[in-house]
Amino acid sequence: MHIDWWTLAFQTANVLILIWLLARFLFRPVMEMVESRQHEADKLLTDAADARREAEQTRAGLESARTGIADERHKAIAEARAGADAARTALIAHANEEIAKLRTDAASAVSRDRAAMERAVIEHARELALDIAKRLLSRIGPTAAVDGFLPALSDQLEALPPHERARFTDAGDVEVVTAAPLPDETRERVRQTVAAALAGGTAALVFRTDPAVIAGVELRTRHGAVRNSWRNDLDEIAAALEGANTTNAAPVGVS
């Protein structure tokens, strides 16, 4: 077999030139393009990793915020419930105080009304007794209205301690008060009764009238008085009734 070395040399040179041309104008741009695409792909992967990491951090922050919001919500609900319970307790306590005050006021009003009614009844009874007494005494005359009270008046004067009895002898004029003017003989009996009760004292008696006495006789000085009259008896009875009503009054309950 005959080999043409010149032809082989030219073909080899052509192959080398072709390889150089391909390497320069084809392989290098392709490699640069591949490297550029690889860099872009690496950058995209890096960016994707960074975005994923940021997303994870954002998700963690959201979870933390959600947990914090839930805790704040539970705390706000607990505080609102506690405030509502405290307000309800205060409202109930205030309502109970108002109810107790209303009950007390109502009980006081009932007690006052009952006391006023009892006083009115007592006053009416006293006025009725006075009217009855005046009608009865209008039939018996002033002498009879005094004579029946003289023994009791004498007993009252004799029962006084000596220093008090002396006031009726040293006080100057002593007023003898009756409901109506007395005739002379009745006045004399009064003088004798008073003188005997005062053991011979020299009291100067001055007679005067007061219809409020109704019946009986009263001795009055600037130091005091000795009363033996229906008016005094009625006043004592009314005072005793009022005192008994005050003492025995039971608390009034309002439900």
Amino acid at 119: R
User: Quick one: residue 199, left, alpha or beta (phi over 0 = left, psi -120 to 50 = alpha)?
Assistant: left
CB contact set of 214 (below 8 Å; sequence gap of 6+): 130, 133, 134, 137, 145, 179, 229, 230, 231, 234
> Can you list the domains of the chain with their CATH numbers?
142-231 (3.30.360)
Predicted pLDDT of residue 137: 56
Between CA 165 and CA 197 the distance in angstroms is 9
Amino acid at 161: P
Predicted pLDDT of residue 254: 32
> Which regions of 179-247 does DSSP assign to beta strands (E)?
204-209, 216-220, 225-229
CB 220 within 8 A of CB 175: yes
**Residue 207, SS3 per DSSP:** strand
Walking along the chain (255 residues) 10 residues at a time, the average pLDDT comes out as 72 79 70 77 80 82 78 81 84 85 81 73 65 58 74 86 78 82 90 82 80 86 82 78 59 36
Task: Please calculate the CA angle 151-153-157 and round it to the nearest 5 degrees.
Answer: 115
Nearest to 191 by CA among 161, 143, 150, 131: 150
Structure tokens, 24: 């320069």
Q: What are phi and psi of 136, to 5 degrees?
A: -65, -45
Predicted pLDDT of residue 146: 82
- Please give the DSSP secondary-structure letter assigned to residue 221: -
Between CA 239 and CA 227 the distance in angstroms is 16
Predicted pLDDT of residue 132: 62
Predicted pLDDT of residue 201: 64
Predicted pLDDT of residue 207: 92
CB 146 within 8 A of CB 182: yes
